[in-house]
Amino acid sequence: MKIIVAVKRVIDYNVQVRVKADGTGVEKENVKMSMNPPDENAVEEALRIKEAGNANEVIIISIGDEKSQETIRTALAMGADKGILVKTDKEVEPLAVSKIISKVAEKEKPEIILLGKQAIDDDSNQTAQMVSAILNWPQATFASKIELKDNEAIVTREIDEGLETIKLSKPFVASCDLRLNEPRYASLPNIMKAKKKPIEIIEVGDLNIDIEPRIEQIKVEEPPVRQKGVMVSDVAELVNKLKNEAKVI
């Protein structure tokens, strides 16, 4: 059984994001980039499924420029078997990403496709759902537990009301929540081994997919600076300020 895991190269979550001077986007040059954190959970879950004997190959797919190979290598160092880079210099929206993943899945024929629940750069939370719709596969979003039994999976989902447990038949698509697992660190020997693992490079034009954006980004601005808060010594002082200065009591 094959598992495909989609990973995205994003600005590292520890980096303070800066807007370009011309307002056309955020600064990515000379900025630390890393794998999208929820995607790390997806990779970890795929590896655990393989280690439990329920899969024999974990394939990592990423979409972007040449530098996205670094993100794929990170997943290979964690233990994945091979990578696929769909190369494009354009910014791709979730719909285009979903089409690309679905196209690769038609070729590789996996039984499970795992993704992070959302990317920290755009927070779209759309790709897993659209991949499911394109392939006409069952889906389980925000998965915090995945149990495989024969040709079925029992998935526990994080929802607003608490937890929801659903049963899916294979093949299926799942998006992984941060509480699904604790991603492993790649050891030095595995980092060295990852350099020899294959990465197939596919030009996005060879897939015959329309990836033109449906949304035009007009301008990006920094959020307005908030006023500094005021510290109070006790509840009485707080009530006094609310009453006499803020006029809310």
Average pLDDT over residues 21-44: 89
Residue 120 lies in a domain: yes
Range of the domain at 6: 2-221
What's residue 182's pLDDT? 94
Distance (Å, whole) CA 108 – CA 2? 8
Residue 233 lies in a domain: no
Q: Tell whether the model's pLDDT for residue 221 goes beyond 90.
A: no
What's residue 112's pLDDT? 96
Q: What is the pLDDT of residues 69-93, one digit of tens each?
A: 999 999 999 999 999 999 998 889 9
- The helices-and-strands tally (H runs, E runs) of the chain is 6, 11
**Percentage above 90 pLDDT, the chain:** 67
Look up residue 123 and give its amino acid: D
| Token code pair at residue 77 | 């160092």
Q: Is 83:20 a contact under the CB 8 Å cutoff?
A: no
Residue 229 lies in a domain: no
What's residue 18's pLDDT? 86
Residue 230 lies in a domain: no
Question: Which of 175, 141, 183 minimizes the C-alpha distance to 34?
Answer: 183
Residue 234 lies in a domain: no
Entry pTM: 0.85
Residue 67 lies in a domain: yes
Distance (Å, whole) CA 83 – CA 58? 9
Q: Tell whether the model's pLDDT for residue 215 goes beyond 90.
A: no
Question: Which of 66, 172, 29, 42 minimizes the C-alpha distance to 115?
Answer: 42
Model confidence at 246, pLDDT cuts 50, 70, 90, reads: confident
Average per-residue pLDDT for the chain: 91
Q: Tell whether the model's pLDDT for residue 249 goes beyond 80.
A: no
Distance (Å, whole) CA 43 – CA 45? 5
Residue 240 lies in a domain: no
Count up the domains in the chain and report the number. Answer: 1
Q: What is the pLDDT of residues 171-180, one digit of tens each?
A: 999 999 999 9
Q: Is 140:200 a contact under the CB 8 Å cutoff?
A: no
What CATH number does the domain containing 66 carry? 3.40.50.620
Q: Is 72:199 a contact under the CB 8 Å cutoff?
A: yes
Residue 249 lies in a domain: no
Q: Tell whether the model's pLDDT for residue 21 goes beyond 90.
A: no
What's residue 24's pLDDT? 80
What's residue 244's pLDDT? 87
